[in-house]
């Protein structure tokens, strides 16, 4: 919660430190995944990087998109998050992540914020094509990468 974040930072917690057991997810990645919009806003206000990548290059925007967290996507974008960030593994954008996760609200939010409908990933797929090809499978980062 927001109070826990404040106390952790007061105690010297590093906002950019990622947990190696979770593919180097930062506190912002975790708050984004869980839809903790208030925590996301607080972390951004305290200086957290909205585009910090995990080990595989997933940003908080990718994580929020897959988890269908539209309000978090708006907060991240307001804080400088890139709606067209590309991950290192598959060259997926957050819209690819939303499409692959069946995250309709997140996809709408991303499109409204200017996400590219034509960006292609390593397989040459635009987000709509990635949704058709990969909807039943989850990306590697869901398990921690």
- The residue ranges of every structural domain in the chain are 2-143
Determine contact, residues 84/115, Cβ cutoff 8 Å. yes
CA 113 to chain centre: 14
For domain 2-143, the CATH superfamily is Ankyrin repeat-containing domain (1.25.40.20)
Element (H, E) at 14: none
Torsion sign (Cα): 61, 13, 16, 49: positive
Q: Within 13 Å and on the Cβ side, how many CA atoms surround 101?
A: 25
Mean pLDDT over residues 73-77, rounded?
Answer: 99
Put simply, whether the predicted model's pTM sits higher than 0.85 gets the answer no
- Average confidence score pLDDT of the chain: 84
Higher pLDDT: 99 or 15? It is 99
């Amino acid at each position: 919660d927001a109070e826990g974040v404040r106390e952790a930072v007061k105690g010297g917690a590093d906002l950019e430190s990622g947990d190696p057991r979770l593919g180097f997810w930062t506190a912002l990645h975790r708050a984004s995944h869980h839809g903790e919009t208030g925590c996301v806003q607080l972390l951004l206000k305290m200086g957290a990087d909205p585009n910090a990548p995990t080990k595989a290059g997933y940003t908080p925007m990718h994580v929020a998109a897959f988890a269908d967290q539209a309000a978090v996507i708006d907060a991240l974008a307001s804080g400088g998050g890139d709606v067209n960030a590309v991950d290192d593994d598959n060259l997926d954008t957050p819209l690819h992540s939303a499409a692959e996760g069946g995250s309709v609200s997140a996809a709408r939010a991303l499109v409204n914020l200017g996400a590219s409908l034509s960006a292609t990933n390593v397989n040459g797929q635009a987000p709509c094509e990635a949704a058709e090809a990969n909807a039943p499978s989850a990306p590697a980062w869901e398990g921690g990468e």
